[in-house]
A and B are shown apart, each in its own frame.
Chain A
Amino acid sequence: MILDDVLSSGALPALEATIRFAGQRNRLIGHNIANISTPNFQQKDVSPGDFQKWLAEAVQERRARNGGMHGGLKLKDDRQFRATRDGSFELNPLSSTGGILAHDRNNRDLESLMQGLAENLAAYQVATDLMRSRMGTIGVAITQRV
Chain B
Amino acid sequence: MYGSLDISTSGMIAQRTRLDVISANISNKNTILDAQGNYNPYRRRIAYLAAGNPGAQSASGQKLGVHVGQIGQDQSPFNLKYAPNSPYADAAGYIKEPNIDTTSERIDAMEAVRAYEANVAAAESTKQMLALGLRLIG
Contact = CB atoms under 8 A, between A and B. Distances in A.
Are A and B in direct contact (Cβ within 8 Å)? yes
Given A33-B118, A41-B51, A131 B129 contact: no
A38 interface: yes
Most chain B CB within a 10 A radius of its CB, from A27, A30, A118, A131: A30
Interface string A110-143: 1001100110110011001101100100000000
A9 interface: no
Interface in A1-57: 19, 22-23, 26-27, 29-31, 33-39, 41
A15 to B, nearest CB: 10
Contact of A34 (B65, B112, B135): B65
B89 interface: no
Given A22-B129, A30-B8, A30-B126, A38 B119 contact: no
B100 interface: no
Given A19-B133, A36-B115, A37-B49, 15 more contacts: A23-B133, A29-B122, A30-B123, A31-B65, A34-B66, A34-B122, A35-B65, A37-B112, A38-B49, A110-B115, A110-B118, A114-B121, A117-B125, A125-B132, A128-B133
B11 A132 contact: no
A118 B133 CA distance: 16
A120 B10 CA distance: 21
Taking chain B's interface residues, is the majority helix, strand, or loop, or is none over half, making it mixed? helix
B32 interface: no
Report the contact-size class of chain B (Cβ under 8 Å from the partner): 20 to 34
Contacts of B50: 38
B48 interface: yes
Contacts, number: 93
A35 B129 contact: no
B99 to A, nearest CB: 18
B69 to A, nearest CB: 9
Contacts of B26: none
B95 interface: no
B25 interface: no
A34 B125 contact: no
A128 B115 contact: no
A125 B123 CA distance: 16
B49 A33 contact: no
A131 B118 contact: no
Closest 5 CB pairs of A and B: A34-B11, A31-B64, A30-B7, A38-B49, A34-B66
A110 B114 contact: yes
